[in-house]
Amino acid sequence: MNYRHAFHAGNFADVLKHVVLALCFEHLKAKPKPFRYIDTHSGIGQYDLTSDEARRSPEFEDGITRVLAADKPDDVAAILKPFLHAVAASNPGEALTAYPGSPQVAESLLRDTDRIQLCELHPADAKTLDQRYAKDRRVKVEARDGYKALSAIVPPVEKRGLVLIDPPFEHRDEMAFMAEAAMNGINRWPTGTFIFWRPLKDLWAQERFDVGLTEWLIAEKQIEPEKILRADLWVRELETEGKLAGAGVVVVNPPYTLEDNLVTLLPWLCEVLKQDDGAGWRVDGGIAEDSLLVDEF
């Protein structure tokens, strides 16, 4: 699976990932002490929805465009508020012309005292990222492998914050690489919040990652099951071939409010973003080896 992000910016997977990220930021901001955001696969920070890449595959039209146009109940609107603030900050005009990647979501939501550390291995993307944030003293950009960097940069001096691991899944063993990074990072910073994005493509590999990480956290790190949360969304029947139909996150040390917020949000989000009757969602804490998606697939 090759997931060069310029072709997919603003799709359903981005919406879910960035809603979760924004909610985690808001929880961390509830306390005055500064925190650090670490992004291991940062991309270019923000994506031009008028570009040839975006127009060639306008997945944002079935993602963020639908969310912006939909009627929102009060409870849903409250949950979406920080994420939609980030989207609005990237679009000062009336038209939707840009979509904020994870670095830009952070840039628009974090305080002056918080810090942002971005890793990007792709040379051209790293240069673009560095130029974008050159004048923001809160942001440090490193042109390096985020997996390898992680063990060197956690825990941060602030002792508070979160890590997003959102690789492009260009390698067949990406789940294994992410699992190794997860164990290395959490070993060094067991109190940090970690968000792991993964596609629902190779469901067996995805389930092995989810359940294996959970079992390791409980057995080796003595982390309570309620401190592990999974949230997935699929907009049509899951298939191994063709365009991505489902994706989601595993969150270690999530905010205590995150599960309830996602249980409220995801039924609405699924209805707004669904592309056929095979669409669905799940939110579960203390991930059990029920393998529901694998059995159905």
Catalytic residues: 166
Contacts for 238 with CB less than 8 Å, ≥ 6 apart: 200, 203, 245, 246, 278, 293, 296, 297
**Cis-peptide into 155, omega within 30 deg:** yes
Q: What is the DSSP string of 243-276?
A: S--EEEEEEES--TTHHHHHHHHHHHHHHHH--S
What distance in Å separates the CA atoms of residue 64 and residue 52, rounded to the nearest whole number? 18
CB atoms within 10 A of CB 26: 18
Query: Please, what is the end-to-end C-alpha distance for the chain in angstroms?
Result: 18
Nearest Cα to 48, choosing from 119, 105, 103, 96?
96
Q: Alpha helices, DSSP H only, in 189-257?
A: 203-220
Nearest Cα to 192, choosing from 218, 223, 234, 167?
223
Token pair 């059990």: residue: 288
Q: DSSP character for 226?
A: G
At residue 231, the 3 state secondary structure works out as: strand
Nearest Cα to 132, choosing from 102, 157, 95?
102
